[in-house]
């Protein structure tokens, strides 16, 4: 290629020289026609096709081209052995070095037996792009050169391969992010600032999640199948997403489970705070700006909005009610307090409306402590495909926690702990807290004894609470019994009075007769 290029370079120099003399001698119109024909001749002689990919697109935002970034990554993995001058970029908090080819380097690639040349260069813009934020900075570009006869396969197949590989490398090497939505009123129309993010580094994994091993395996299989089912979803005409509902008491591992899912699938997390979203339109905007390979989370969905009753038909308001200034004021105040006009139907559309198909490979996860409070439409299968109950600590759960926190697989105290867990409701969070050594002197046995003590206390507490509950219930029953008796007495008195009246009337009538 270099040899070919040198010959062509000399040829081009001669052409340029002749062109310079030509420009001095002939008028503009003639020059234009001549240029057209010269281009035709050159393209006839030159057996190569060149495609250029610039780092920045010339538009108002001057965004970095995604194609350029993908090519850069692709060439970084495919060129580092061949290019002699490389640039090093450090990613993932200085943990990983990514190499890419330096400027004015050339590397070759091979695809289905076809040779492709890639060169990297940079150029300084001759004129500043109007409204561009990037100003006069030099911009880099990659140039692909291939033989003209391979043009179709290169443009239709090879480039797709390069871009797909580049994207896959990006997913592997990227720092995963935890996003949260900014308040609607703080959004700017000039910048994309609907979501803010930090690097996502949660240590929870499926190894550290304590739950019934059978259930855990089922979830893992479900996630694995989902992540590999792109073609299946396409075949059945469904957008590639899946809904999970995690429900259970506080401290049973719902949030930890979401982090473990994200770590397992290597997805980003979008933690959506519904009360910061003004209305359904803003909710849709947020959805559009989420990326693929992500988990959209709405925690404590039962507390987020009043989603329980909004689907029920609203009572027809009378004209007087609508005009009542006091009622209007109360409604306005309530609206302000709620701070969000997102409705249940807006949320349902968010989950599986037409717009929800704008991304792919996405999980939507809701968590709640009170599953029974939710509108059945929100959690029906198809929207929330998998319901996972995270419950109180059982023996199996405890064994995982003991292994995680104490490195202990078995112990003589395990049996009594297992029995006590069957008798008492204790969350994995509480069990974990008791298992955690509080000082260097606390060994595994002391921690297990601490747990036994806590379980005994919890059992005693539950016993006292049950007695108290029973007492309150008996009192309430007594009160309602008394109320019933009073009611019956009143009714009886009413009937007696009625009878007495009727008898009086009869006597009067008989007297008259
Ligand atoms: N099943 C579990 N496996 C491992 N650790 C757990 C589990 N459940 C709770 N924990 C521990 O308890 C802490 C609290 O758990 P987590 O925040 O996941 O509970 P949650 O169900 O989301 O609670 P909430 O309903 O209050 O949000 C976690 O930091 C974790 O260490
Ligand atoms: Mg939580």
In a domain, residue 490? The reply is no
Predicted confidence at residue 396, as pLDDT, reads: 93
Q: What is the pLDDT of residue 315?
A: 41
Residues 205 and 218 in one domain: yes
Q: Are residues 35 and 165 in the same domain?
A: no
In DSSP terms, 297 is beta-bridged to 271, 365
Q: Is residue 221 part of a domain?
A: yes
Query: DSSP letter string over 152-194?
Result: HHIIIIIHHHHHHHHHHHHHHHSPPEEEEEPPGGG--SSS--S
Q: Which of 109, 139, 173 is the last residue of a domain?
A: 173
Question: Could you tell me the distance, in angstroms and rounded to a whole number, from the CA of residue 430 to the centre of ligand 2?
Answer: 14
Shared domain for 341 and 229, answered yes or no, is yes
Domain shared by 223 and 361, yes or no: yes
Q: In what order do the strands lie in the sheet with 139-147?
A: 48-54, 139-147, 114-123, 106-111
Å from CA of 193 to ligand 1 middle: 31
In a domain, 126, yes or no: yes
Q: Ligand 1 pocket test: pick from 204, 245, 252, 304 the residue with the most ligand atoms within 8 Å of its Cβ.
A: 252
Tell me, what's the pLDDT at 245?
95
Q: Is the CB of 254 under 6 A from ligand 1?
A: yes
Query: Does residue 209 belong to any structural domain of this protein?
Result: yes
Pocket test for ligand 1, best of 247, 273, 429, 431 (most atoms within 8 A of CB): 429
**Same domain as 141, residue 41:** no
Cβ of residue 429 lying under 6 Å from some atom of ligand 1: yes
- To the nearest 10 degrees (0 to 180), the angle between helices 414-423 and 395-406 is 130
Give the residue, by CA position, lying nearest to ligand 1 atom 16: 253
31 Cβ closer than 6 Å to some ligand 1 atom: no
CATH classification of the domain holding 241? 3.40.50.300
Tally the domains of the chain. Answer: 4
Does residue 317 fall inside a structural domain? no
Pair 348, 450 in one domain: no
Residues 132 and 206 in one domain: no
Residue with tokens 């989420």: 290
Q: Is 378 in the pocket of ligand 1 (CB under 6 A)?
A: no
Indicate whether 496 belongs to any domain: no
**Residues 300, 167: one domain?**
no
Range of the domain at 421: 407-478
Ligand 1 geometric centre to CA of 209 (Å) = 9
What is the C-alpha to C-alpha distance for residues 134 and 453, in angstroms, rounded to an integer? 66
Residues 184 and 155 in one domain: no
pLDDT of residue 127: 53
ipTM over 0.90: yes
**Is 415 contained in some domain?**
yes
Residue nearest to atom 12 of ligand 1 (CA): 429
Distance CA 158, CA 160 (A): 5
Ligand 1 pocket: which of 428, 430, 434 to mutate (most atoms within 8 A of CB): 428
* Structural domain ending residue among the three candidates 152, 173, 194: 173
Q: Flag whether 510 is in a domain.
A: no
- Tell me which of 173, 188, 214 is where a domain ends: 173
Same domain, 276 and 288: yes
Instruction: Say whether both 161 and 300 belong to one domain.
Output: no
Closest residue by Cα to atom 11, ligand 1, is 429
- Ordered mean pLDDT values, 10 residues apiece, the chain (513 residues): 57 71 70 74 79 77 79 79 68 61 83 91 63 60 92 94 89 86 82 86 94 94 94 88 94 96 94 90 89 92 66 45 56 56 83 75 93 87 90 94 94 94 94 91 91 94 93 94 92 90 80 61
Residues 100, 236: one domain?
no
**CB of 368 closer than 6 A to ligand 1?**
no
120: tokens are 């990297």
Bridge partners of 364, per DSSP, are 243, 296
pLDDT (0 to 100) of residue 472: 94
Cβ-contact 294, 268 below 8 angstroms: yes
Beta carbon of 155 within 6 Å of any ligand 1 atom: no
């Amino acid at each position: 290629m270099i040899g070919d290029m040198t010959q062509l370079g000399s040829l081009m120099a001669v052409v340029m020289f002749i062109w310079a003399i030509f420009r001095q001698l002939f008028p503009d119109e003639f020059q234009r026609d001549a240029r057209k024909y010269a281009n035709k001749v050159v393209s006839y002689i030159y057996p190569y096709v060149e495609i250029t990919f610039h780092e920045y697109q010339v538009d108002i935002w001057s965004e970095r081209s995604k194609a350029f970034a993908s090519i850069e990554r692709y060439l970084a993995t495919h060129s580092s052995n061949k290019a002699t001058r490389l640039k090093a970029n450090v990613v993932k908090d200085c943990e990983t070095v990514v190499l890419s080819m330096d400027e004015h380097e050339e590397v070759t690639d091979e695809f289905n037996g076809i040779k492709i040349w890639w060169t990297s260069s940079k150029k300084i813009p001759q004129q500043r792009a109007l409204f561009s934020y990037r100003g006069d900075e030099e911009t880099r570009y990659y140039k692909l050169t291939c033989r003209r006869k391979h043009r179709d396969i290169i443009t239709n197949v090879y480039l797709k391969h390069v871009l797909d590989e580049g994207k896959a490398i990006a997913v592997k090497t990227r720092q995963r992010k935890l996003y949260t939505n900014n308040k609607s009123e703080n959004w700017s129309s000039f910048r994309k600032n609907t979501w803010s993010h930090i690097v996502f580094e949660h240590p929870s994994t499926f190894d550290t999640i304590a739950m019934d091993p059978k259930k855990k395996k089922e979830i893992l299989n479900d996630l694995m199948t989902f992540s590999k089912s792109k073609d299946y979803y396409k075949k059945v005409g469904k957008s590639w997403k899946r809904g999970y509902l995690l429900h259970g008491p506080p401290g049973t591992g719902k949030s930890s489970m979401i982090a473990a899912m994200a770590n397992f699938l290597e997805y980003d997390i979008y933690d959506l705070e519904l009360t910061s979203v003004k209305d359904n339109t803003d909710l849709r905007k947020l959805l559009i700006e989420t990326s693929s390979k992500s988990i959209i989370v709405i925690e404590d969905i039962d507390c987020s909005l009043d989603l329980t009753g909004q689907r029920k038909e609203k009572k027809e308001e009378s004209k007087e009610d609508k005009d009542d200034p006091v009622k209007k004021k109360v409604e306005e105040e309530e609206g302000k307090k709620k701070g969000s006009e997102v409705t249940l139907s807006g949320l349902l559309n968010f989950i599986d409306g037409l717009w929800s198909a704008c991304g792919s490979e996405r999980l939507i996860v809701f968590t709640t402590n009170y599953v029974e409070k939710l509108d059945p439409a929100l959690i029906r299968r198809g929207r929330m495909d998998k319901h996972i109950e995270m419950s109180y600590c059982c023996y199996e759960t405890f064994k995982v926690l003991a292994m995680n926190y104490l490195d202990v697989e078995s112990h003589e105290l395990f049996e009594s702990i297992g029995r006590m867990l069957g008798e008492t409701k204790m969350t994995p969070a509480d069990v974990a807290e008791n298992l955690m050594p509080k000082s260097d002197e606390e060994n595994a046995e002391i921690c297990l004894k601490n747990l036994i003590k806590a379980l005994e206390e919890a059992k005693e507490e539950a016993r006292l609470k049950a007695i108290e509950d029973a007492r309150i219930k008996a009192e309430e029953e007594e009160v309602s019994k008394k109320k019933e008796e009073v009611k019956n007495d009143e009714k009886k008195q009413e009937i007696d009075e009625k009878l007495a009246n009727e008898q009086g009337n009869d006597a009067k009538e008989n007297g008259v007769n």
